[in-house]
Amino acid sequence: MACLLETPIRMSVLSEVTASSRHYVDRLFDPDPQKVLQGVIDMKNAVIGNNKQKANLIVLGAVPRLLYLLQQETSSTELKTECAVVLGSLAMGTENNVKSLLDCHIIPALLQGLLSQDLKFIEACLRCLRTIFTSAVTPEELLYTDATVIPHLMALLGRSRYTQEYICQIFSHCCKAPDHQTILFNHGAVQNIAHLLTSVSYKVRMQALKCFSVLAFENPQVSMTLVNVLVDGELLPQIFVKMLQRDKPIEMQLTSAKCLTYMCRAGAIRTDDNCIVLKTLPCLVRMCSKERLLEERVEGAETLAYLIEPDVELQRIASITDHLIAMLADYFKYPSSVSAITDIKRLDHDLKHAHELRQAAFKLYASLGANDEDIRKKIIETENMMDRIVNGLSESSIKVRLAAVRCLHSLSRSVQQLRTSFQDHAVWKPLMKVLQNAPDEILVVASSMLCNLLLEFSPSKEPILESGAIELLCGLTQSENPALRVNGIWALMNMAFQAEQKIKADILRSLSTEQLFQLLSDSDLNVLMKTLGLLRNLLSTRPHIDKIMSTHGKQIMQAVTLILEGEHNIEVKEQTLCILANIADGTTAKELIMTNDDILQKIKYYMGHSHVKLQLAAMFCISNLIWNEEEGSQERQDKLRDIGIVDILHKLSQSPDTNLCDKAKTALQQYLA
């Protein structure tokens, strides 16, 4: 019986809750406008801080009625304003609340409200729009669908400090792509917002600063403009530098540092400028200290990683500033069991977000170690660092895994580390696991790192081969992602360098000649160049050349012909002629050239080419074909004389290029011997 009674009890509780909320909605339909206004005011007071009440009113259909009243010409301005305030309060509840408001087309109604002349109503509409646009569930595109909205918002910036704060906040949240930056820039965002940096209101200054950080990100046009903007006789970069001083709030310091970082990365400020070296970089290092809040440490480290990523000098300066490398090690011990956090809410938040610290540390280590051998050594010697990075490869968060792979990739550029730390920690094992099943963004970095682990001097090369790498890499060459095709073929090229015959045969078998042809006609130049590099490495050492050409000779000669006839650049044709020179070095393989008049004519053509690189590559082919000490050299020399090669050699022996001249003279001596 108890089970039967449970349902009606629940239903009665729900109906009671809904009934207690229903009278608020009913009053919105009262014929007396004063009672409607009072009803909206009472509703406003009832929903403040009460998410359950907000949800109930939405379920009961309050939103369409509030929007109707907001848009009615007969509604008083006071009523319209109170409606906008209630809608803003409802939007401050859960994400589901925001979705419900969006489904009722709240944004067009509020944007329409901005055409009013009443400032209080405009501010209420903007406050509500701010709350909606800063929600994760709101598509930022909704701000740009009507072309008249942005210029109107720009015009409203001058109305009050509240319009300035809310509009800047809307802009900074809705500027997520280059086309958004362009729209805002073209409508005068820089000029309209610059003077707000000197506002008496901290909130306005802060939101204006955030606007500039999103406008400048990876945008040379905006960044170059910002450098020359004057506000009260001071250039913007100087204002940003003042805002990142230690006595300013942390949020302001961080955002100013971001603005200067983005302007620097976009090429508007030099990397050796004092405002970067002496101000921005030290400020960002300060943000990494354990005294800062978790989100500040994350943002500081990630911004610093971005700032120093392309510049070796900044990497060196950062690495010796405030013991940064050791400071980052603390990112992995947070929150510790003896954490100083007494605020339970804060501790709960930090436990949930601790992975973001690890991700940020990996990113910064990757940037620090991108170029300098000593810095890489310091990073690896930091307590348990290799173990931490290897553990990062198997974390549940994709972002942490990606950052860990990037960090390892950066460190794998070191020959010394590949031979020592990478071998000691058997890094190749977790890496191969990552490569088995990962999203493309991780695969691209992981496969790029595998290329380094497969270099001839790397001790990891053998175990990687034994763990089925050839099939995995051949699979990558069939990816739709060109970066994965490049890395797959690049790793195979490294694998084939000075490899045993068996490995080369395995590569050719797994890759298949069909796939090889596919790669040689790939639209991506990098794929084509690396495929030619692979062929060149496969066709090295005589027994290997002869063996491969005896089984795949016809297809390889066909591929060489196609490339030499195609519209390719000098580097591609040079690589192809070098492959021919390798074939000409074979014992039996060279006959595939000598019996192919078309190829011989092509070699002759490139000997007389205007580009020295191609002439030299063609000369290598001829030298290998006519070398005296080899069987059949007399017949080959005679045939080549008959097609006019000797005449060309005489011409080339007079070449102003000493290298080409010497090669031609050496070749002619073979005829005289």
Residue 127 CB neighbour total at 10 angstroms? 23
Sole residue written with tokens 């009674």: 5
Is residue 658 assigned to a domain? yes
CA 121/CA 651 separation, integer angstroms? 88
CA 170/CA 606 separation, integer angstroms? 62
pLDDT tens track for 46-59:
999 898 999 999 99
Angle subtended by helix axes 501-511 and 525-538, to nearest 10: 140
Residues in the chain: 673
CA dihedral 236, 238, 239, 241 (to 10 degrees): 130
Residue 436 pLDDT level (bands cut at 50, 70, 90): confident
Is residue 635 assigned to a domain? yes
CB 268 within 8 A of CB 227: yes
pLDDT tens track for 362-377:
999 999 999 999 999 9
Residue 341 CB neighbour total at 10 angstroms? 17
Identify the CA nearest to 549 among candidates 602, 594, 485.
594
Residue 5 pLDDT level (bands cut at 50, 70, 90): very low
Identify the CA nearest to 606 among candidates 567, 650, 570, 659.
570
Identify the CA nearest to 382 among candidates 361, 399, 397.
361
CA 574/CA 576 separation, integer angstroms? 5
Is residue 163 assigned to a domain? no
Lowest mean pLDDT among 243-252, 338-347, 397-406, 556-565: 338-347
Mean pLDDT for 17-28 is 81
Mean pLDDT for 436-443 is 90
* 482 to 441, 529, 537: CA distances (angstroms): 12, 13, 22
Mean pLDDT for 454-463 is 85
The set of residues, in sequence order, having a beta carbon less than 8 Å from that of 626 and lying 6+ positions away, is: 633, 636, 637, 640, 667, 670, 671
- Number of alpha carbons in the 13 Å side-chain half-sphere of residue 455: 15
pLDDT tens track for 202-229:
999 999 999 999 999 999 999 999 999 9
CB 175 within 8 A of CB 218: no
CB 363 within 8 A of CB 400: no
CB 273 within 8 A of CB 296: no
Question: Rg (Cα) of the chain, in Å, rounded?
Answer: 34
Is residue 587 assigned to a domain? yes
Cα-based angle 112, 113, 118 (whole degrees, multiple of 5): 140
pLDDT of res. 341: 56
Please report the DSSP string for 474-485 in residue order.
HHHTT-SSHHHH
Overall number of domains in the chain = 1
Is residue 203 assigned to a domain? no
pLDDT of res. 630: 83
pTM comes to 0.85
Is residue 425 assigned to a domain? no
Phi, psi of 342 (to 5 degrees): -100, -20
pLDDT tens track for 627-668:
988 888 899 999 999 999 999 999 999 999 999 999 999 989
Residue 237 pLDDT level (bands cut at 50, 70, 90): very high
Identify the CA nearest to 217 among candidates 180, 185, 252, 259.
259
pLDDT tens track for 293-337:
999 999 999 999 999 999 999 999 999 999 999 999 999 987 654
pLDDT of res. 14: 42
Domain containing 616: what range?
A: 565-672
- Number of alpha carbons in the 13 Å side-chain half-sphere of residue 232: 7
CA 190/CA 66 separation, integer angstroms? 36
Going by the DSSP 8-state scheme, the letter that residue 249 receives in this structure is -
Say which CATH number the domain at 665 has: 1.25.10.10
pLDDT of res. 7: 36
Is residue 390 assigned to a domain? no
Mean pLDDT for 353-370 is 96
Mean pLDDT for 518-537 is 94
- For residue 335, whether the previous peptide bond is cis, meaning omega lies within 30 degrees of 0, is yes
* 63 to 20, 43, 56, 98: CA distances (angstroms): 17, 12, 11, 11
Is residue 643 assigned to a domain? yes
Locate all alpha helices (DSSP H) within 585-657, ordered by sequence. 591-594, 597-607, 612-626, 633-642, 645-652
CA 122/CA 161 separation, integer angstroms? 12
Structure tokens at 581: 């020179």
248 burial level (CB within 10 Å; 0-12, 13-18, 19+):
middle
Identify the CA nearest to 508 among candidates 541, 479, 550.
550
Residue 19 pLDDT level (bands cut at 50, 70, 90): low
